[in-house]
Amino acid sequence: MTVWFVPRDAAALSVGANAVAAALEAQGEQVVRTGSRGLLWLEPLVERADSRNGTRVGWGNVQASDFASGDLTETAPNYLGVVEELDYLACQERWIYERVGITDPVDPEDYLSHGGMVGLQRALNLSPADVVTAVTASGLRGRGGAGFPTGIKWQTVAEQAAVPHKGDPIDAPRHKYICVNADEGDSGTFADRMLMEGDPFCLLEGMAIAAHAVGADRGMIYLRSEYPAAIAMMHEAIDKARDRGWLGQGIMGSTCNFDVTVRVGAGSYVCGEETAMLESLEGRRGTVRAKPPLPAIEGLFGTPTVINNVLTIASVPSILARGAEAYAALGQERSRGTQVFQLAGNIARGGIVEVAFGISAHELIFNLGQGTKSGRPLKAVQVGGPLGAYLTAESLQVPMAYEALAAEGAMLGHGGLVVFDDSVDMAEQARFAMEFCVEESCGKCTPCRIGAVRGVEVIDDLLASDTSTNAEQLLRDLCDVMTQGSLCAMGGLTPQPVLSALDQFPEDFKRSVSQSSDAVQGAVRE
């Protein structure tokens, strides 16, 4: 019998994948719901397995209204051929995303038959210290944006003794925690979401490996409320993992006890900052904590806590399964292994690209992404979320790696690239960066809380006046105060998009806001 594969990833659902699956099922076809391959411009991307060798061929942009399963033939205009041979996929090196788009995300058997649990099994056969050593040797760094070496963080937590929750009696149960930061609030990033919706067991396996390595007994996933599909998928996966003995008492027959719960955010961007996330997990306002103490020493409920991004933790199973040396052989300088890049915004072929560090932004955007979706010239690319710098079309040769981007005054962040065409008004984008900071500042420190409000005002002054030197100097001084004086990256990095826009697109700041907006809208309407 023919087997069809239709994604149930939220992005695919957002363009009609459920209706396509229903139409296939109504015709009596067998349909497996998978994650998305990450070729998002082709969604809904429907695949059919060859009954002889299992090779999967695909059709792009399938709409329920215009097909019977008999219409999906090899001569159809939307026929793609063998999906894995498409250039967008063939050039990728998938470690974290090795199963995403291929397997049924919540079928444990499918997970096992595609290499799942090999990493955890291998880790459980090693001593905790050897697991930490392997993670350190892989060169893995935090994928949430800060890029802190994961092995060192784990080592720190492993060296701490488990303690009771702060405020509990001294003889209360002792804990250490693994907290996964799935508060993926950066615009232009969706790799955490697609991993959780496409291969949730991989995240749980990585958490279990971390638990074994550092001696943690509890895990929490802090998942943003804006991702309802991912929340449902994680809950389903956790239930199934418990049934299989992958979580709970004595995981996989070992002496390791570890269980995971999901906690849902409540619409606060800054809760993606690790200490604000801890506050939120403890039920309080999501304000940033001063460090020290480091969360690795005194984290969630006062216990030693590993806080890692989804992609960091999800890298670990394949590192253990395929070997730290193989992972460390990829990349450049101190950017080792693979990064999941996300091509977003005004781009013809947006989606997920997992490749080794070092690929240039130009190659990602023009060779893989094939330029802007609108077909107009590219004007700017924001790398690393709303706190990331804007790059110009001329500076896209920069290798995508921690060190190379830092040298350009930019940052990798969570690996998202948001492309803008020439209709964008960079002064408006700079103003938005400040507005966003006004909206989302936790309010704990003054440079961020007040600075962002003044930032919006100063940009308005700058745009309204003809002789803008004073306002510009004021804006630069303000950005300096925010950069140097803020408690966390929210206030500290908001100047990055502002100043990069001001420095690289000064002409956009020489018109008033209303004029520029009208001009842009006029240009777009033409």
Partner 1 sequence: MESPIKTPEQIDALKGLLTPIVEREPGPVLLCLQAAQTHYGYVPDGAVAVIAEVCNVSRADVHGTFSYYSDLKKAPPPEISVRLCAAEACQAVGGRRLAAAWDEACAADPELAAATGTNEPVFCLGNCALGPAALVNDELIGNANVEALKSAIKAAQNAAETAL
- Residues in contact with partner 1 by CB under 8 A are 10-11, 13-15, 40-41, 43, 165, 184-190, 193, 225-229, 261, 263-269, 280-287, 301, 342-347, 350-351, 373-374, 382, 386, 416, 418-421, 424, 429, 432, 436, 439-440, 521, 524
Judged by CB, which is closer to partner 1: 106, or 380? Answer: 380
Q: In this structure, which amino acid lies at residue 292?
A: P
Judged by CB, which is closer to partner 1: 163, or 347? Answer: 347
Nearest-angstrom CA–CA distance, 203 and 245: 15
340 φ/ψ angles, rounded to the nearest 5 degrees? -90, 100
Judged by CB, which is closer to partner 1: 8, or 336? Answer: 8
3-state class of 121 per DSSP? helix
Judged by CB, which is closer to partner 1: 135, or 389? Answer: 389
Considering the complex, what minimum distance in angstroms separates the CB of residue 190 from partner 1?
A: 4
Nearby residues of 148 by Cβ (< 8 Å), 6 or more positions away? 141, 142
Judged by CB, which is closer to partner 1: 216, or 347? Answer: 347
Judged by CB, which is closer to partner 1: 330, or 343? Answer: 343
Judged by CB, which is closer to partner 1: 34, or 342? Answer: 342
DSSP string, 380-402: EEEESSTTSPEEEGGGTTSBSSH
Farthest CA pair distance, the chain: 74
Considering the complex, what minimum distance in angstroms separates the CB of residue 377 from partner 1?
A: 14
Judged by CB, which is closer to partner 1: 303, or 338? Answer: 303
Considering the complex, what minimum distance in angstroms separates the CB of residue 342 from partner 1?
A: 7
Nearby residues of 134 by Cβ (< 8 Å), 6 or more positions away? 126, 319, 320, 324
**Nearest by Cα to 497 from 479, 485, 484, 515:** 479
Nearest-angstrom CA–CA distance, 117 and 212: 14
**Sequence-ordered strand ranges (E) for 176-217:** 177-182
Question: Quick one: how many helices (H) and strands (E) in the chain?
Answer: 21, 18
Considering the complex, what minimum distance in angstroms separates the CB of residue 373 from partner 1?
A: 7
The continuous run of DSSP H or E covering 433 comes out as helix 426-440
Structure-block tokens of residue 176: 């250490």
Judged by CB, which is closer to partner 1: 4, or 190? Answer: 190
Nearest-angstrom CA–CA distance, 452 and 448: 6
Structure-block tokens of residue 17: 């994948």
Number of Cβ within 10 Å of residue 12's Cβ equals 28
Considering the complex, what minimum distance in angstroms separates the CB of residue 14 from partner 1?
A: 3
Residues across the chain: 526
Judged by CB, which is closer to partner 1: 153, or 193? Answer: 193
Task: For tokens 């033409």, name the residue.
Answer: 526
**Nearest by Cα to 351 from 333, 370, 335, 376:** 370
Judged by CB, which is closer to partner 1: 481, or 520? Answer: 520
Structure-block tokens of residue 279: 């506050």
Nearest-angstrom CA–CA distance, 117 and 111: 8
Nearest-angstrom CA–CA distance, 366 and 362: 6
Judged by CB, which is closer to partner 1: 148, or 432? Answer: 432
Answer whether 424's CB lies under 8 Å from 379's CB. Answer: yes
Considering the complex, what minimum distance in angstroms separates the CB of residue 73 from partner 1?
A: 26
HSE-up (13 A, CA, CB side) for residue 432: 14
Considering the complex, what minimum distance in angstroms separates the CB of residue 185 from partner 1?
A: 6
Q: In this structure, which amino acid lies at residue 241?
A: A
Considering the complex, what minimum distance in angstroms separates the CB of residue 474 from partner 1?
A: 25
Judged by CB, which is closer to partner 1: 263, or 454? Answer: 263
Considering the complex, what minimum distance in angstroms separates the CB of residue 225 from partner 1?
A: 5
How far is residue 161 from each of residues 1, 130, 208, 307, measured CA to CA in Å? 55, 18, 18, 17
Judged by CB, which is closer to partner 1: 303, or 312? Answer: 303
Q: In this structure, which amino acid lies at residue 78?
A: N
Considering the complex, what minimum distance in angstroms separates the CB of residue 286 from partner 1?
A: 6
Considering the complex, what minimum distance in angstroms separates the CB of residue 382 from partner 1?
A: 6
Considering the complex, what minimum distance in angstroms separates the CB of residue 10 from partner 1?
A: 5
**Nearest by Cα to 39 from 3, 1, 90, 73:** 90
Nearest-angstrom CA–CA distance, 124 and 118: 10
Considering the complex, what minimum distance in angstroms separates the CB of residue 188 from partner 1?
A: 4
Considering the complex, what minimum distance in angstroms separates the CB of residue 517 from partner 1?
A: 9
Number of Cβ within 10 Å of residue 377's Cβ equals 11
